[in-house]
Structure 1
Amino acid sequence: MVAALNLAVDAVEAQLERDPSAPVDTTAVAVGLGTTDYHLRRMFSSLAGMPLSDYVRRRRMSLAAADLLTDGADLLSVAVRYGYGSTEAFGRAFRAVHGVGPGDVRRSGGPLRTQPRIRFHLTVEGSVPMDTRITDLPALRLVGNAARVPLVHEGVNPHIAEHVAAIPAADTARLKELNDVEPLGVLAVSDDLDPDRAEGSELTYLHGVATTSAAPDGMDVIEVQAGTWAVFRTVGPHPEALQTAWAATATSWFPSQPWRLRPGPEIVAVQAYDAEAGTATCELWLPVEPQ
């Protein structure tokens, strides 16, 4: 996967060099590398610390800054070269990256926030083994109470906490009776995730269970197709241990395994929770397919 990501960066650079005004077709890049746009964007975001779309935007504006300093063309010509129909639109995009306008850069030479070309390298440490199993599940449905919430990368997500706190205990008890298939127990389900995993992007969060039964009236449903899942077991401070493992799937596990993510919900099953100690034993279920 690391080699594929570097080839993806090469493809982005080649496209920007050919025509910096044209959008970069990440789907075509992914297909050309034998993977999927979904998996490519998820891995890029996790390893680079920024969405692929942000990287393309920053690189485009870095090239534009170089042109402003070395090319005598007027601002409108530079704006059109980079795909903008007016100097105002170009200026907004340029300022969003560099913090200053293109006119300021042309006059004073900076300051600039240049985005260097990214190169990925895999460092194999092996000091923290990941407790993982691969399993196949039949088609099932996830039933419970859903809400749209923003993505929070670290710590407790207050929007999810508020949503779960508002669910009557009787509803959760009724859900537990429906659970007749893995993953077992009451689940935290994240669906409709942005593949770039940008902080603040919206997702559907469902507090519910996995079942083959029909959903009770008033409950939300996510239908899940039959498929293969990678299951990661975590033990430790909650939610820190879980969030660390979630990140490590991209930085350590997927780059060294013959699996890639496929679209679908990502599921957390809390098997044990010690509120006094603030620790938990969890299973993280990710939908996968062979590379």
Structure 2
Amino acid sequence: MDWLQRMNQAIDYIEDNLENHIEDEQLAKIALCSVYQFQRMFSFVLEIPLSEYIRRRRLTLAAFDLKNKKNKVTDIALKYGYESPESFSRAFQNLHGLTPTSARDTGSQLTAYPRISFQMILKGVVGMNYRIEKRDAFQVIGLEDIYGIDNIANEQGVSIPEVWQNLCRNGEFDRLHQMVTGDWHSDGNFNKELGAVFAYDSYKFTSNTTFPYLIGCYRSGNSKVDGYTVVDVPASSWAVFSTLNDGNGSGNYDLRSLKHRIFSEWLQTSKYNILDGGNFEMYGTNKDGYEYCELWYRIGEKQ
């Protein structure tokens, strides 16, 4: 069974259970991947979190149910997983722009989100360039936090872009940069265009709805680790994608667009699977002065 079939079967499971509890583990089992990988694929391909898709579909069906005035609002709320009519009413109004009671009125305007399906689209216009890197094990050090998959924010509500901005303002970015001693590019066999500070994420399981994200650097022989998290990076093969190949090379690149292409185009047609166990975002400046980002994904050949 190919990737498209598995993903569409996962959608079948969601649609069959919109009135019941949807098990993340069952979705992952159908898609033959981890819960985190499924949620990430879903989000990057459809550009909407899995939880939001499920919420919209349930509230779409709830709107249809409300048109039958014999259905009580309380019963509809419970049917689609809401603990109280009040929480259902808030969610319904946020999506549809009117209350469940108003939705019963003739001529009321509602928003419908149809069921999605995964399809193969052969674009054939822009090639998906990548390279394969094989690396021995090494270590990275840095500042770690845990972020929600849906909102990409930590427990304090601070998003990843805001964390980067704070590190640059408070001097922590410079301190991380100074911790890299010696010729780390040669030691780790990295391109000399890459900057010392990068991001490493999803290298361990935290929960089905969160992921770890570390802003740090390569651990060289004399790096001081006090106050920082040390993470082992296993020997791996990596698929490396660059925004220089996907954008205009001007620094105005769109990482979300690149990730979308990786999961919707490359992953479907390549001979590799993206594995759990860590991904890198590495930032560099090429010889022409253009800033770019490389996305590194751990891979294994499909069986």
TM-score interval for Structure 1 and Structure 2 normalised by the shorter chain? 0.7 to 0.9
Distance 2:144 2:78 in 1: 44
Structure 1 residues 98 and 270: alpha-carbon distance in aligned structure 2, compared to 1, 3 A threshold: same
| CA-CA distance at 1:6 after TM superposition | 1.8
- The normalised TM-score by structure 2 is 0.77
Provide the residue aligned with 1:288 in structure 2. 299
Letter in 1 for 2:182: E
Distance 2:100 2:289 in 1: 50
Letter in 2 for 1:181: G
Q: Pairwise mapping of residues 45-124 of structure 1 onto structure 2 (< 5 A)?
A: 45-70=43-68, 72-108=70-106, 110-124=108-122
CA contact (8 A) 2:31 2:38 kept: no
| CA-CA distance at 1:212 after TM superposition | 7.5
The secondary structure found in structure 2 opposite 1:103 is helix
In the alignment, structure 1 segments of 5+ residues that lack a partner are none
The secondary structure found in structure 2 opposite 1:265 is strand
Structure 1 residues 122 and 258: alpha-carbon distance in aligned structure 2, compared to 1, 3 A threshold: same
Find the partner of 1:175 among 171, 177, 180.
Answer: 180
CA contact (8 A) 1:30 1:40 kept: yes
Give identity over the alignment, percent.
26
The two structures, once aligned, show a CA RMSD in angstroms of 3.4
Structure 1 residues 89 and 273: alpha-carbon distance in aligned structure 2, compared to 1, 3 A threshold: same
- Count of equivalent residues: 278
Report whether the alignment pairs 1:226 with 2:235.
Answer: yes
Structure 1 residues 77 and 288: alpha-carbon distance in aligned structure 2, compared to 1, 3 A threshold: same
CA contact (8 A) 1:176 1:209 kept: no
Deviations 1:207-237 (A, max 9, x none): 3125587753333323323333211234212
Letter in 2 for 1:112: L
| CA-CA distance at 1:114 after TM superposition | 1.2
The secondary structure found in structure 1 opposite 2:61 is helix
| CA-CA distance at 1:270 after TM superposition | 3.3
Does 55-64 or 5-14 show the bigger shift?
A: 5-14
The secondary structure found in structure 2 opposite 1:142 is strand
| CA-CA distance at 1:284 after TM superposition | 1.9
Does 136-145 or 213-222 show the bigger shift?
A: 213-222
Letter in 2 for 1:11: Y
| CA-CA distance at 1:161 after TM superposition | 3.5
Provide the residue aligned with 1:268 in structure 2. 281
The secondary structure found in structure 1 opposite 2:277 is coil
The secondary structure found in structure 2 opposite 1:262 is strand
Distance 1:140 1:224 in 2: 5
Provide the residue aligned with 2:198 in structure 1. 188
